[in-house]
Amino acid sequence: MALIELKQVAYQAGDQEILQDVSFAVEEGDYLTLTGPSGSGKSTTLKLIAGLISPNKGEIFYQGQNLDNLDLVQYRRQVSYCFQQPTLFDETVKDNLALPFAIRKQEFDEKRAQEALKQVDLPADYLDKKITTLSGGEKQRVALIRNLLFRPEVLLLDEVTTGLDEESKQIVHQLIARVHQEGTTIVQVTHDQEELAASKQLLHMEKGGVLK
């Protein structure tokens, strides 16, 4: 049984048909990259898998269960979507890293948050740092570990390294590689050559459909 399976999925936003008849499967442990030109429906496909939107036609399955029958709030804690240009909340880095704990009604674990910061090459005292003082690369790193504090089954990455400086990009690449090695399935959208090379499986999309 595939971990995630899309069957003849179509999605329309207003009058605009974005996806038509998309079908593919993601196996557990996969490292899949969706490629293709802008407007081919890659990000929409990721958002559909993340349960942020629902298809107009077709079905999406997770561990054999139709997403329509799942509690999407719980599901999104397992299948985590990371945005291209993430927004950090409130005032400090701590406010952001506390959110995944608050969502799960758990006490904030400062040590765990500091460990996570180290994984993306940020010092422990960054917890109290104001988000307005962070660089774009630092913001993306904080956003990424916000998704990974509670390790998801599937990590959906929507061009997360676009616009990052080389150092931040490398740190993010290393983190994604480590997370994948530890068993998290990765589905990403990217144009980055290094990320395409790291991917085990490529799926080319064009005009709202999957070509190969």
Interacting residue with another protein among 36, 51, 55, 137 (CB under 8 A): 51
Residue closer to another protein by CB (options 76, 191) is 76
The contact pattern for another protein, residues 91-130, with x = CB under 8 A and - = no contact, is --------xx-xxx--------------------------
Rounded CA separation 87/70 (Å): 27
Beta strands in 48-103 (DSSP E): 57-62, 65-66, 79-82
Interacting residue with another protein among 8, 72, 91, 163 (CB under 8 A): 72
Residue type (1 letter), 202: L
Residue closer to another protein by CB (options 57, 104) is 104
Exposure b/e, 102-116, CB count within 10 A at least 16 = b: eeeeeebeeeebbeb
Note whether 74 binds another protein by CB under 8 A: yes
Q: Write out the binding residues for another protein, residues 148-207 only, by CB under 8 A.
A: none
Residue closer to another protein by CB (options 34, 142) is 142
Strand partners, 175: none
Q: Write out the binding residues for another protein, residues 3-32 only, by CB under 8 A.
A: 13-14
Residue closer to another protein by CB (options 108, 201) is 108
**CB-based burial of residue 9 (10 Å sphere; 0-12 exposed, 13-18 middle, 19+ buried)?**
buried
Q: Given the DSSP bridges, would you call strands 154-158 and 65-66 parallel, antiparallel or unpaired? A: unpaired
CB of 166 to another protein, least distance (A): 25
Rounded CA separation 165/99 (Å): 27
Taking CA atoms, 100 is separated from 105, 138, 144, in Å, by 9, 18, 12
Q: What is the three-class DSSP state of 70?
A: coil
Residue closer to another protein by CB (options 61, 81) is 81
Interacting residue with another protein among 23, 29, 37, 53 (CB under 8 A): 53
Residues in contact with another protein by CB under 8 A are 13-14, 50-54, 72-74, 76-77, 80-83, 86-87, 89-90, 99-100, 102-104, 143, 146-147
